[in-house]
Amino acid sequence: MNNTSCPSVSFSFEHRFLPPVYILVFIVGLVANGWGLKSLLHNWKKLGNVNVFVLNLGLADILYLSTLPFLVVYYLMKSKWIFGEAFCKITRFCFNMNLYGSIGFLTCISVYRYLAIVHPMRAMGRITVTHSVIISVMVWLLVSAQSLPDMFYKKTFRNFTGKCYDTTHKTDVEDYLKYTLGWTLTGFCIPFLITLGCYGHMAVVLWTLKRTDKVLKQRSLKLLLILILLFSVCYIPYHVLRNLNLLARVLTKQRICHKWYNGVFIARQISRGLVSLNSALNPLVYLHGNEDMSAQLRQQLQQVRLSFHRLCVPDSGRMPVSQTADER
């Protein structure tokens, strides 16, 4: 520990790491979510209760993906924001809406699947599409209420052409740490525990009941693995390192220095890249949460294979249709 001036943190890592990650997430996420939303809208009449949440999940992803080109420009310009203070706050707000909206809708999907598998008789006929729409509106309102205070913290520096902080300027970092700790508890920890409890109990029920349909068991367990992947790779590291990095900034402001500050900053930037992947990984929920969409994907892949096979097989190796008919 050093009580003098702390050594500066190397900011060059985020300029090298985040732009290619954001470009990859933008391309993959836009294609995957665009296909998923198109399939959902095409089967609107067959829209089930869970698919209402899947639809909102896709909309949250599109909202965030639309801001990524501006962030790519920002980090390629060595953290120089040229789009104005208002748009900086809007960009960060869209990220928070996507992050906590995704967590909220994944939690809703978990609860619905839990009720359908563990308590099917109680849930039958009592949960309608209208209920799902009302719950979705409540999720958006709750996430907005949690994210709105973030917009009142200082996000830019030096006449709106400098930094566009994803947290806030160092002048408000102490208050922001308190805010983000409460935000982590309500926006992440509680939904995570609900999701974990639902799928944990569901997994036990599916493995203990021998009469359970094998297809249902496989689909539910695959979805459980997808959610574990999302939380383990995208959400948990981000929240832990965000708060730890804010703590390091508070201590640095107090001139209390530790060697691990720079390592925490680098890990924090990696977690920011990983959390953005949720917009590209969320469509996996589409595949295992909707039978029609899975069937459509298999059919499209089969058509692509057949087309590729026809291109590879020379025409001379085929027999004319008339000749084949004569030889029968």
Q: Which domain holds residue 159?
A: 12-298
Please state which of the ranges 21-35, 193-207, 276-290 shows the lowest mean pLDDT.
276-290
Asked whether residue 257 is assigned to any structural domain, the reply reads yes
Phi, psi of 2 (to 5 degrees): -135, 130
Evaluate the CA torsion angle 177, 182, 187, 193 in order and state its sign: positive
SS3 sequence of 45-66: HHCCHHHHHHHHHHHHHHHHHC
> C-alpha distances in angstroms, 218 versus 112, 231, 233, 293?
17, 20, 22, 17
Asked whether residue 323 is assigned to any structural domain, the reply reads no
State the total domains in the chain: 1
- pLDDT tens for residues 195-246? 989 888 887 887 777 655 666 667 777 777 778 888 888 999 999 999 999 9
Asked whether residue 317 is assigned to any structural domain, the reply reads no
Asked whether residue 325 is assigned to any structural domain, the reply reads no
In angstroms, the CA 273 to CA 219 distance is 29
Evaluate the CA torsion angle 118, 122, 125, 128 in order and state its sign: negative
Please state which of the ranges 12-21, 143-152, 306-315 shows the lowest mean pLDDT.
306-315
Quick one: which H or E segment has residue 102?
helix 85-118
Provide the mean pLDDT of the chain.
82
Residue 64 has pLDDT above 90, yes or no: yes
Residue 295 has pLDDT above 80, yes or no: no
- CA diameter of the chain: 95
pLDDT, position 158: 64
Asked whether residue 307 is assigned to any structural domain, the reply reads no
Phi, psi of 282 (to 5 degrees): -55, -35
Asked whether residue 324 is assigned to any structural domain, the reply reads no
- pLDDT higher at 304 or 52: 52
* Residue of 86, 270, 272, 101 whose CA lies nearest to 164: 86
In angstroms, the CA 96 to CA 102 distance is 10
**Which CATH number do you get for residue 101?**
1.20.1070.10
User: Which amino acid makes up residue 143?
Assistant: V
- pLDDT tens for residues 262-281? 899 999 999 999 999 999 88
Residue 323 has pLDDT above 60, yes or no: no
Evaluate the CA torsion angle 87, 92, 93, 98 in order and state its sign: positive
Asked whether residue 53 is assigned to any structural domain, the reply reads yes
